[in-house]
Structures are given as C-alpha cells and as structure tokens.
Amino acid sequence: MKVVILCGGYGTRIRDVSENIPKPMIPLGRYPILWHIMKYYSCFGHKDFILCLGYKGNHVRDFFINYETNTKDFTVTLEDHKKNIFHTENNESDWTVTLAETGLHSMTGSRIAQIKKYVGDDDFMLTYGDGVGNIDVKKLLTFHKSHNKTLTITGVHPSGRFGEFTSKDGLITEFNEKPQAVTGKISGGFFVARSNIFKYLTLEENSIFEQEPMKKLVADGQVMVYEHDGFWQPMDTAREYNILNDLLSNGKAPWVIW
C-alpha cells in the first residue's frame, strides 16, 4: 500500500531549531525525522512512498537523489567518481519514493488532492512528516479493512492538544481542529483512506484537509477511529525536538523497531 506523507509546510513554530531546512528534514540523530517515519512504515512492509513537497522541497529531493552518500560511509576517488567505494550498507534499496511538488503555499487538502494521479484507485496510507509513534500499522490496516468507511484516523493521547474528535462505537461524530478546550483524544495522523476520499478534496490552494473536508466526512459518517494508547509524539517545537532526540540518544525511542 502506498504511503503519502505531507512534507510541504513552513514549520514556523520550530524555526528556532533550523531556518535552513524544512521541518521533515530536521534530524533525529543522524537521519531526518522524515526518514524515521518512512523506516517505521517499511518495517510493516509498506515501502512505496509519495512525498508531498512544498517549502524548501529541494532539500528532500537532494537527500533521496544522493541517498547512498547521505547514508553510507564511502571513499571518494577524486579523479573518477565512478570508482567511489561504499563501505557500509543500508536496507532501503527496495523503497520507491515519488517526490511530488505540491506548491509552496498549498494547504494540506490541496496537497493530498494533487497526488491522486500517483495513488490511483487504491486505498492508501497518509500521515504528516513531523510525528512518530509506535502505532501497530498491521492492526491499523486490519481495522480499516474491517469497516466500509472512507477514512480511518489514528486516535492518540496528546501532550499538546489539537485536532480533537469525539467518537461513539468507533465512529467519528465530531471533529474540531485545534479547539480551545478539549477532552479526549486527538488525530495523530497515521490515516488510512479509500480512494473515494478525493471527492471530498479540491485542488484549491487554501483547502485544509483538517477543516471542511474532514467535517464533511464526519457529517457523512465516513470516519472511523483506530484507538492507540501507546507512544506518539509530534515535533512542532524545539522542546519536542529535544524530547525525541533524547529518547533516541538514550536508546529509548519507541518508534525504532529496526
């Protein structure tokens, strides 16, 4: 199943960590958080990725175009680069990565709508390029296949609250993006969508997936929640960046299952 990852936002709240690269390329340890997300999905057998690019997208392109030199030790022969010697291996040679330009100013709904041609008529996974967790993707997919709704949301317990929803017997009955006062769980990304989700989306640049499209899906009774009580952490701020890097450096990162 294809995995669509939203990588094009400005990431303004984490500019104090880095202003020079897009948020999905900010490193956790040696590799960008985007790589960690992709590596996690690949551990469940999902290795066909579509990256929705926008702000400073060339950094993402350069990382994958030069993937071997970005991920391996190597010796350079200056006279002839064809003689370069790579000393280490990686396990990502079977990944397929589609780098899709979705516009500098496009919002999430527009970005998703633009990659329909790469998804086709198949179900697909969807998430953000700035959050990790230890969601059981196999169980998530099994749950999605068990109902006939358009969208499955992974519901998580947040440290900061946004995208809160209310559910009854697994069916989403209300969705509020970044409410002022909330109780319960929030949307943690890690969506699974049927292809008919595109009828709820438009190519308009200002279309925000979490607002009108999501509210229409909920009103139509087309959103189910997969309950996740384990680890989930976004990287929206410098504080959260430090939390994730501390977990990784101390060998306690719950998402590192490789």
In this structure, is residue 258 part of a structural domain? no
**What domain range includes position 195?**
2-249
- CA gap 41, 45 in Å, rounded: 7
pLDDT at position 172 is: 83
Number of domains composing the chain: 1
Q: Which residues fall within 8 angstroms of residue 51, CB to CB, at 6 or more apart?
A: 5, 7, 34, 60, 97, 98, 99, 100, 129
In this structure, is residue 47 part of a structural domain? yes
* pLDDT digit string (tens) for the chain, length 258 residues: 999 999 998 866 665 566 789 999 999 999 999 999 999 999 999 999 999 999 999 999 999 999 988 998 889 888 877 777 888 878 899 999 999 999 999 999 999 999 999 999 999 999 999 999 999 999 999 999 999 999 999 999 876 545 667 777 889 887 776 554 455 689 999 999 999 999 999 999 999 999 999 999 999 999 999 999 999 999 988 899 999 999 999 999 999 999
In this structure, is residue 10 part of a structural domain? yes
In this structure, is residue 193 part of a structural domain? yes
In this structure, is residue 80 part of a structural domain? yes
- CA gap 233, 235 in Å, rounded: 7
Phi then psi for residue 42, to 5 deg, are: -65, -25
Q: How many CA atoms lie within 13 A of 22 on its CB side?
A: 24
pLDDT at position 151 is: 98
In this structure, is residue 255 part of a structural domain? no
Q: In the numeric block, which tokens belong to residue 252? A: 């306690």
In this structure, is residue 254 part of a structural domain? no
Here the CATH number for the domain that contains residue 83 is: 3.90.550.10
- CA gap 136, 140 in Å, rounded: 6
Beta strands in the chain (DSSP E): 2-6, 27-28, 31-32, 48-53, 74-75, 85-86, 96-101, 124-128, 131-133, 151-156, 164-168, 171-176, 186-187, 191-193, 223-227, 232-234
In this structure, is residue 109 part of a structural domain? yes
Instruction: Decide if 71 contacts 31 (C-beta within 8 A).
Output: yes
- CA gap 106, 206 in Å, rounded: 6
pLDDT at position 79 is: 80
pLDDT at position 10 is: 83
